[in-house]
Amino acid sequence: MAPRRYVIRTFGCQMNVHDSERIAGLLEADGLEPTDEVADADVVVLNTCCIRENADDKLYGSLGHLKALKATRPGLQIMVGGCLAQKDREVVRQRAPHVDVVLGTHNVGSAVELLHRAIDEGPITEILEESEAFPSALPVRRNVPWSAWVTIQIGCDNSCAFCIVPSVRGREISRPFDEVVAEVEALVAAGVVEVTLLGQNVNSYGRDLTRRRPLFAALLRSIGAVDGIRRVRYTSPHPKDLRPETIAAMAETEAVCEHLHLPLQAGSNRTLAAMHRGYTAERYLARVEEARRAVPDLALTTDLIVGFPGETDADFDRTLEVVAAAGYDSAYTFVFSPRPGTEAAAKVHDFVPAPVVAERFEQLRVVVERSALVRHQARLGRVEEVVVEGPSKKDTAVLSGRTRQNKLVHFAAPARLVPGTFAEVRITAAAPHHLAGDLVGVSALPRHRTRIPVTAVFG
């Protein structure tokens, strides 16, 4: 009998991607095999996000297509997990009764058990309000063999007015320090050379363990000291918790990459206060200046929200000023999306008209891309170390890779440069969102012994 097959579609942040890797690991431990095609799958998992409003549209659109498919294949099992399932468990069940399993963010480890139970018992919904065990104890099927996510913290204790994450991910819980280091050591032994530390508020890591100062700087130093690790990244930090010792650890630990993703969200102090962000624009820019003084060649990226309730022209003009002053290498810009259950969603009378938001969004894009292009043009003629990720999506004759600053570089090279190779590339062209160059040489070959297949990720 042919083995059952599965496909996972992931929407949302890196935490969701890593949860999907865990679900994939559990499914494969149960004997299932991956497929890229929904039509070939016996199990379809939709791992959802609830940060943006269109996440709902994506989910229910996908479930509509799957309903028709399931009508022709009664044995097909559909699982909905992630943040939207945690928040809207009953809505998912009402709108899509054909879903076999609805599970939340705190019981990923039950995925296989619930699928088995659903065969005999029918549709199951299981949502826990707190995690019973830290999810990193689960098996993982990684996306790529040279790079890995490492969760160091789950949940969030902040109260940002626009954010639903604390409601769906729970309170902030840090993973034991030695356990994190041990996982990185095991990953390196398996051939991983790059890790990204994950947390909803990653630089407050350890505050709940010590009841004192965060342990994040010490963790960076310890992981950077693991023999064989070449790159250490982390996401996402909170500006109010960016401490001098973290900046020092970045500067003094060779493996920690010269990249800081520091979400600004808005440049107006009035808007920041309404968001409950816990810092001012002036404090934010001071932290950026401290980081740039300490870490040569630092790349700075951010998140920005346009059209937060009550945002005036003057507020938005201040955002443009702060964004220009920060001089970002790139930015993720979002139109405010009201999420039920958040403080900001209740301020309906303060919503900014859509045409105004669209105009502001375009103005912000121009400012961000202008600074990004300037910073990229400054790299012309330099030789950058990149990790080869594979053929470019737009031109398979060209390879793509990432620098230590997480910049995307396209370059022509022999086909024998397999993913995971460290290559030296001379930069010959710059654009707002990428660099291009010519291969100079190879600095290191991949360390992994076997290729780990890729989980299908969409959205």
Pairing state of beta strands 408-412 and 399-402?
Answer: antiparallel
Q: 70's torsion region: left (phi>0), alpha (psi -120 to 50) or beta?
A: alpha
Q: What is the pLDDT of residue 170?
A: 77
Write the DSSP string, 198-238.
E-TTGGGTTHHHHSSS--HHHHHHHHHTSTT--EEEEE---
* pLDDT tens column, 258-268: 999 999 999 99
Q: Judge contact between 220 and 245, C-beta under 8 A.
A: no
25, 29, 31, 33: CA torsion to nearest 10: 20
**Among 126, 161, 196, which residue terminates a domain?**
126
Q: What are phi and psi of 248, to 5 degrees?
A: -65, -40
Is residue 294 a part of any domain in this protein? yes
Q: What is the pLDDT of residue 242?
A: 95
Q: Looking at the structure, do residues 115 and 24 belong to the same domain, yes or no?
A: yes
pTM assigned to the model: 0.83
What is the arithmetic mean of pLDDT over 101-129?
87
Q: Looking at the structure, do residues 175 and 217 belong to the same domain, yes or no?
A: yes
Q: Looking at the structure, do residues 350 and 291 belong to the same domain, yes or no?
A: yes
Q: Reply yes or no on whether the pLDDT at 450 is more than 70.
A: no
**Among 378, 409, 432, which residue terminates a domain?**
378
| Cα distance between residue 52 and residue 338, in whole Å | 8
Is residue 459 a part of any domain in this protein? no
Q: What is the pLDDT of residue 294?
A: 98
Q: Reply yes or no on whether the pLDDT at 59 is more than 50.
A: yes
Highest-scoring range by mean pLDDT, 75-79, 99-103, 247-251 = 247-251
> For residue 373, what pLDDT band results from cuts at 50, 70 and 90?
very high
Q: Looking at the structure, do residues 249 and 348 belong to the same domain, yes or no?
A: no
Average pLDDT of the chain is 89
| Cα distance between residue 261 and residue 265, in whole Å | 12
Q: Looking at the structure, do residues 334 and 394 belong to the same domain, yes or no?
A: no
Is residue 149 a part of any domain in this protein? yes
What is the arithmetic mean of pLDDT over 336-356?
90
* pLDDT tens column, 281-301: 999 999 999 999 999 999 999
Q: Reply yes or no on whether the pLDDT at 187 is more than 80.
A: yes
Residue 448 or 254, more confident: 254
Q: What is the pLDDT of residue 458?
A: 29
Q: Judge contact between 48 and 59, C-beta under 8 A.
A: yes
Q: Which of 236, 285, 241 is nearest to 261 (CA)?
A: 236
| Cα distance between residue 202 and residue 156, in whole Å | 9
Q: What is the pLDDT of residue 52?
A: 63
Q: ω before 110 within 30° of 0 (cis)?
A: no
Q: Looking at the structure, do residues 120 and 34 belong to the same domain, yes or no?
A: yes
Q: Looking at the structure, do residues 374 and 387 belong to the same domain, yes or no?
A: no
Q: Which of 433, 413, 423, 239 is nearest to 332 (CA)?
A: 433
Distances (CA, A) of 393 to 298, 398, 431: 27, 9, 16
Q: What is the pLDDT of residue 53?
A: 60
**Among 378, 410, 430, which residue terminates a domain?**
378
Is residue 131 a part of any domain in this protein? no
Q: Reply yes or no on whether the pLDDT at 375 is more than 60.
A: yes
Q: Looking at the structure, do residues 262 and 251 belong to the same domain, yes or no?
A: no
Write the DSSP string, 281-333.
HHHHHHHHHHHHHHSTT-EEEEEEEE--TT--HHHHHHHHHHHHHHT-SEEEE
Is residue 32 a part of any domain in this protein? yes
Which residues partner with 306 through β-bridges?
Answer: 335
Distances (CA, A) of 219 to 28, 40, 150: 31, 43, 12
Which structural domain, as residue segments, surrounds residue 322?
258-378
| Cα distance between residue 126 and residue 103, in whole Å | 5
Q: What is the pLDDT of residue 457?
A: 33
